[in-house]
Amino acid sequence: MDFYLIIKLLHVLTATVWVGGGFVFMVAAEVAQRAPGPVYGGFSAVGARLGNLVFVPAAMLTLLLGIVLTIMSWSFGDLWILLALVGIAVSIGLGLIVIKPGSDKIAELAQSEGPDSPRVRDMSAALLHRGRFDLVLMAVIIADMVFKPGYGDVVILSIMGAVLAAGAVAFLVVKPQPAAVAA
């Protein structure tokens, strides 16, 4: 068996845990946000723990394995590799600078004010809204990995850029709308 294929499998598996886990978490958070009672605030506290236990380690392993694959068979001068590295760095930065501290603050607030307090719900909704950009970014990184665009692939690069820009405006610039809570 080829060592490269084993590393590639591990890279894809860790990326699946990272991106797939993030997607499932976002969908579950949307459901919890609309639930009456303390479900949502408690869910945000779980998110803080999941970040430390699952998302950060999976992201770091994905990055490390990607670097190993690049050293083995690719080049850091390939545009798609550069785009992936920048995208992953932005995602990890967003997680460490925005999502993790926000989740930790929400967890603390849920302890002191209760998981269903209006501040916990509002902060959770705002953080969930910003976190959606990370999913858009991950989708663009996955497209980058699949299409492997070079410097001349203007159409695919333009589409990826447009999707990223739309996601940034929708989830980083535009303020979230209050979610309707089920009665």
pTM of the model: 0.85
pLDDT of 10:
97
Query: Into how many domains does the chain fold?
Result: 1
List, for residues 32-79, the tens digit of each pLDDT value. 877 776 666 667 667 777 877 898 899 899 999 999 999 999 999 999
- Look at residue 179 and tell me whether its pLDDT is greater than 70: no
Contact call for residues 11 and 69 (beta carbons, < 8 A): yes
Q: Is residue 169 part of a domain?
A: yes
Does residue 182 lie within any of the structural domains?
no
pLDDT digits (tens, 9 = 90+) for 70-99: 999 999 999 999 999 999 889 988 888 988
* Residue 137: inside a domain: yes
Given a contact cutoff of 8 angstroms between Cβ atoms, the answer to whether 97 and 56 are in contact is no
Contact 84, 144 (CB under 8 A): yes
Residue 169 has what pLDDT? 95
Q: pLDDT tens, 99-155?
A: 888 888 888 888 898 877 888 888 888 888 888 999 999 999 999 999 999 999 999
Is 167 part of a structural domain of the chain? yes
Q: Residue 181 domain-assigned? A: no
Residue matched to tokens 């070079």? 150
- Whether 49 is in a domain gets the answer yes
For 87, half-sphere exposure in the C-beta direction (CA atoms, 13 angstrom radius) is: 27
Residue 178 pLDDT greater than 70, yes or no: no
Can you give the pLDDT at residue 150? Answer: 97
The residue length of the chain stands at: 183
Asked, for residue 82, whether it belongs to a domain, the answer is yes
Cα(160)–Cα(176) distance, integer angstroms: 24
Task: Say how far apart CA 38 and CA 106 lie, in whole Å.
Answer: 13
Residue 14's pLDDT is 96
- Residue 160, in any domain of the structure: yes
Residue that wins the pLDDT comparison between 20 and 110: 20
Output the six-digit token pair for 128. Answer: 């969930």
Range of the domain at 84: 3-173
What was the pLDDT predicted at 38?
A: 64
